[in-house]
Structure 1
Amino acid sequence: MDPIEDQPLPPPAPFMFGCDECVRLLRAFGEMVTADVGCFTEQLAVARHIVDDHPGEVPPPHTRNCDRCPHYAAYADDRGGLWAEHRARDLFLPEAVARLL
């Protein structure tokens, strides 16, 4: 068992169930996970949607166990870009997977 890839998906953040687009994107993501095929594009789509349409739900920067946040912090002008997508992944992926990007 791969300690990163074989972790169960956490339940999505509650706000996501009230958004038709979140549900659609999560469903597409879940179908790819279930089919055991690559789901990277679907992960990115969910994270980007959260950043664009639910910016208030994006978690704050990680303060522990994250090698990526200090890297993103160096690019302060990217707060709504990749760094926000990185943090949004915590809302629907296991921590070890979410923090890979």
Structure 2
Amino acid sequence: MADDAVERPVPPPFMWGCGACVRSLLRLAGAWGAPGGCFWEQVQVARHLAEAHPDAVPAPHLEGCGVCPEYALRPDADTDVWAQHRARDLFLPPSVARLL
């Protein structure tokens, strides 16, 4: 996951105004290049966004996403996990964000 050639987006301003977002983003940044990766840090940021900032979570991806169509087809889809998937767009490049 530590591909320095992949440019990460600058998180939106509301995230910098939230102490929990900032702490999570800093943990993610510190783990980005770690040998063990940064999976759990990504999950932590996405979970916080879905729970604390649901209005900021992007709409389902209409193109280029193999995950959103699967969620859309399932009547029992876990909406929290789907929101976490979409929230990843706010702080990760699409090539990484749409892996989960």
Deviation at 1:78, TM superposition (A): 3.6
Equivalent in the alignment of 1:25: 24
Separation in structure 2 between the aligned mates of residue 34 and residue 71 of structure 1, nearest angstrom: 31
Q: Residue in 2 aligned with 1:75?
A: 74
Of 28-37 and 15-24, more deviation after overlay is shown by 28-37
Task: Give 1:65's aligned residue.
Answer: 64
Contact 1:58 1:87 in 2 (8 A): yes
Query: How many positions carry a matched residue from both structures?
Result: 99
Q: What percentage of aligned pairs have identical amino acids?
A: 49
Superposition misfits of 4+ residues, deviation over 6 angstroms: none
Report the aligned-residue RMSD: 2.0
Partner deviation per Cα, 1:66-93 (whole Å, 9 max, x = no partner): 1110111123444631111110000000
Distance in 1 separating the partners of 2:49 and 2:79? 10
Instruction: Tell me, in whole angstroms, the C-alpha distance in 2 between the residues paired with 1:33 and 1:61.
Output: 26
Return 5+ residue gaps in structure 2 as ranges: none
Letter in 1 for 2:80: G
SS at match of 2:63: coil
- Distance in 2 (alpha carbons) for counterparts of 1:77 and 1:18: 34
- TM-score for the superposition, normalised by structure 1: 0.88
Give TM-score scaled by structure 2 length: 0.89
